[in-house]
Amino acid sequence: MSDFFGDDFTAELKAYFLNSLVTETGKFIDLIDNQTWKNIASETAEQFTSWAVDAKTNEYICLSDWLTERAKGLHEDKDILIDHLKNLRAYAQSLLETKIDSPELAAKFTGAVFESEEISYLHCRSGFQDFALPLLNVIEITPSLPTFALPERRKGIAGLIAFRGEAIPVIDLQEYGFADLGGKSYYFIVCHVDSVLFALQVTETDDLLRMTNKDMQLGGDSKNPSFSSLSKGFFHWENRNIMVLDLEKLVA
């Protein structure tokens, strides 16, 4: 078992590696479609081997073995390639949270086990548009609060709100293709990605959705590419497609 709390500098380097891994796997996933996957598979296999070396250097021995094993089968099928990338991203995210690598953790992301694991999502609405947030990233639902303008306008930021003594940004979903709220009452969902806090304006929250990764369908809305750029995928629920918001892309 590898524990990556040695000293602050070492911990920082290891966290940097894991954060880079999460970002890079997301980029590979975004590039894959029916036309490109065979070309991407070769490049991804090389990258898996490189990541395996880096993982071993950073003392993630189980992650290194996991990467080495999966680098061999990336040319078999587009869905297998995407599944391995999604599992790898989830593995790295889990390491960032648990701080400990182990055979038990590696086994969790072998494919079938990970795909069948249920994950809770908060079902939200912004006007007439549905979306879902991973519950693990949600900190609090707050009533409507005063929003303060930034001294200089920044793309994608609607303003700031006060939360637990901090000023945190409110993401402007309208800049990503969501419809204007048109004067509807709203409240805030405060979320986090790693140590970054931010808020989203919503007009309604619904039941918690419990879905598996296998239930998620990749793809987006070709009529609204800005809207689709925030999508991790879609769940089909009660005759509707519910988009899962990619919070990492929001704060990138």
Q: What is the mean pLDDT of each run of 10 residues along the chain (252 residues)?
A: 54 89 84 73 87 92 90 73 86 87 84 62 89 90 88 87 93 86 84 90 87 70 54 81 85 76
Can you tell me the distance from the alpha carbon of 177 to that of 189, in angstroms, rounded to the nearest whole number?
19
SS3 sequence, 133-194?
Answer: EEHHHEEEEECCCCCECCCCCCCCEEEEEEECCEEEEEECHHHHCCCCCCCCCCEEEEEEEC
CA angle 133, 82, 62 (to 5 degrees): 90
SS3 sequence, 40-66?
Answer: HHHHHHHHHHHHHHHHHHCCCHHHHHH
| pTM assigned to the model | 0.54
Q: What is the CA radius of gyration of the chain?
A: 19
Can you tell me the distance from the alpha carbon of 33 to that of 242, in angstroms, rounded to the nearest whole number?
21
Q: Tokens 């629920």 label which residue?
A: 237
- The distance of Cα 226 from the centroid of its chain, to the nearest Å, equals 17
Q: Tokens 């790693």 label which residue?
A: 194
According to the model, what pLDDT value does residue 163 have?
93
